[in-house]
Amino acid sequence: MKTMHAIALLTLLGGVLPVSAATPSKTPAPIAIHSVSVDLPASTASFPPGPGSDIAGKCLICHSAGMVLKQPLLTQAEWTAEINKMRTAYGAPIEDSEVATLSTYLTKVNADQQTK
């Protein structure tokens, strides 16, 4: 709309339109979106039994147990932050009341994995 006003004003004043104002702007190339298939390796790891392992099963919606169990050694505060990030940023279905139990469980199994 402002371009139209500028063109009309220049025309009324008898000015010469700059080439860039008379030429339509270059349209960006369209974005190509397509699907791909990926074959993931089968995971044989599972969460060890213990208080909170049932809640950890919710992590399997997006992660393999092997991926979760191979994380670097994290403190409980760091696990709590990770869990809350998954909840708020990615919508992980973990209730407020489950966060402490899950972070305690992941802290323990994570530490156990480091000593194997």
Q: Residue 93: which domain range? A: 54-115
Whether 41 is in a domain gets the answer no
Kindly report, residue by residue over 72-84, the tens digit of the pLDDT: 999 999 999 999 9
Q: Considering the domain boundaries, does residue 95 fall inside one?
A: yes
Q: What is the per-residue pLDDT for 4?
A: 45
Number of domains in the chain: 1
d(CA 101, CA 106): 9
pLDDT(16) > 60: no
Q: In this structure, is residue 90 part of a structural domain? A: yes
Question: What is the structure's pLDDT at 24?
Answer: 63
**pTM for the whole thing?**
0.65
102 lies in some domain: yes
Give the pLDDT mean for 38-55.
89
